[in-house]
Structure 1
Amino acid sequence: MSLDSRALLPIVLLAGLLAWAVASDVHSRRIPNRLVLAGIVAGLALQATVTPGAGLFSEPFGALGLLKSGAGMTLGLLLLLPMYALGAMGAGDVKLMAMIGTFLGPLDTVGAGLASLLAGGLLSLTVALCQGSLGRVSGNVKTMMLGSVLRGLSGGNAQVDAPPSATGQLPYAVAISSGTVAYLLLTRYFGWSLL
């Protein structure tokens, strides 16, 4: 795919927002609401003002419109909300995926979300391997999931408890950003069809 020069604005905007989210999450383990709000406003503004087309990162370049942008935002929120409800992810991460949805629209938000979950799993495994804590991580996952399932089946709260022995926390904005970028590169610039 050849790059339409008009696509540079959304690419630079989304890349800057993702870089800001990663830097903030790595530094303070928080994704600021003002970042998410600025991204949502920017995504909606682009979708409302750019000439209609196949998407801000698609060929032919153009906006999907406010309806599809809103649907992408909603899907981004819903995609990661269960993990937040289980206590496995922070609210900022969920809002970041919703922000990405305003830029991508519904179908690509699902693809980017799934790629982000995959990136998060790979990142977790890589960190555990490098730290020599893979056995402890797998034991924690087993204990946490079993406890959650048993409580849910007995009518209790299925929220995942904190791990019995801490293995560290990952700034999930890294996984969301790398998954989103990988999805866009693979589907737009290398022609892969992931969905």
Structure 2
Amino acid sequence: MNENMNQHMHSLTIGFLLLLLLAAAWSDIGSRRIPNILVFPGAIAGVLLHALLPQETGGLGILGSLAGWGTGLALLLPLYLLRIMGAGDVKLMAMTGAFLGAQGTVGALLCVLLAGGVLALGAALWQGKLGVLWRNLNVMLLGALAGGAMTGLPVSGKPGESARGAAAESAGSLPYGVAIAAGTMAYLAIDGWH
């Protein structure tokens, strides 16, 4: 393959990833689900495309693509196990990793987490739950600083309100597929689409 053809194939690979991310975000907004019929074939396509794409033009090879898939899975799986994130979100990040490789997945995840924070803040403002979000964040930070032993300390000055009880109210759920799509797109823009 000549250089122009390789660059064109790389652009198509990134374009295909972006289409998959937009479809996942749309589905997550509409149904709060990211379908397996999207993420599993998407991950396979990412691996196959990188098997064909030469390394000189951004190709990762099969092992590099699989490493990205595993990185995406490994980084978000703990959040799923803690019931902070849905399984579809984890699978979507793994699929994204198949297109970006391990290093790109870590960079994209940083942007995804920032996008998720902005999304959470916007949703809390929109729903009038900014106070709940702030209280839950304080409880999480206090718990982390105390090594998870924050069960009986008062957090708001109200008698009988402990750290455990203070975070009982949810600030709402988010279509995190939107954050994954937005954060990945931001990462690709920052990285210059490489």
Identify the TM-score tier after normalising by the shorter chain. Answer: 0.7 to 0.9
Q: For residues 94 and 74 of structure 1, what CA distance do their matches in structure 2 show?
A: 11
Measured after TM superposition, the shift of residue 7 of structure 1 is 2.5
TM-aligned CA deviation for residue 136 of structure 1: 1.3
Instruction: Tell me the CA shift for residue 150 of structure 1.
Output: 7.4
Runs of 5+ unmatched residues, structure 1: 54-60, 155-159
Which structure shows the higher helix fraction? 2
Following the alignment from structure 2 to structure 1, what is the Cα–Cα distance between the partners of residues 84 and 145? Answer: 14
Whether the aligned pair in 1 keeps the contact of 2:10 and 2:59 (CA below 8 Å) is no
Aligned length: 177
For 1:146 and 1:186, locate their aligned partners in 2 and report how far apart those are by CA, in whole Å.
34
Partner SS for 2:132: helix
Describe how 1:66-145 pairs up with structure 2 within 5 A: 66-143=62-139
Matched, 1:172 2:182: no
Partner of residue 5, structure 1 = 8
Give the 4+ runs in structure 1 shifted more than 3 A.
141-154
Q: Is the CA contact (8 Å cut-off) linking 2:10 and 2:53 kept in structure 1?
A: no
Q: Deviations over 1:51-82 (max 9, x none)?
A: 232xxxxxxx2411111111111110111112
Name the amino acid aligned to 1:188. Answer: G
**Which residue of 2 is the match for residue 28 of structure 1?**
31
Counterpart selection for 1:63 from 59, 65, 70: 59
Distance in 1, Cα, partners of 2:111 & 2:184: 7
Structure 2 unaligned blocks of 5 or more: 1-5, 151-163
Structure exhibiting the larger radius of gyration computed from Cα positions: 2
- The alignment yields a C-alpha RMSD, in angstroms, of 2.8
Show the counterpart of 1:39: 42
Identity %: 49
Normalised by the size of structure 1, how large is the TM-score?
0.80
Q: Which residue identity lines up with residue 36 of structure 2 in the other structure? A: N
In 1, the alpha carbon distance for the partners of 2:29 and 2:67 equals 29
Please give the alpha-carbon distance, in whole angstroms, between the structure 2 residues aligned to 1:145 and 1:28.
Answer: 31
- Distance between the aligned counterparts of 1:6 and 1:167, measured in 2? 43
Distance in 2 between residues matched to 1:146 and 1:94, nearest whole Å: 27
Q: C-alpha displacement at 1:135, in angstroms?
A: 0.8
CA contact 2:143–2:149 (8 Å) conserved in 1: no
- State the shift of 1:12 in Å: 2.3
Aligned partner of 1:35: which letter? L
Which amino acid is the alignment partner of residue 51 of structure 1? P
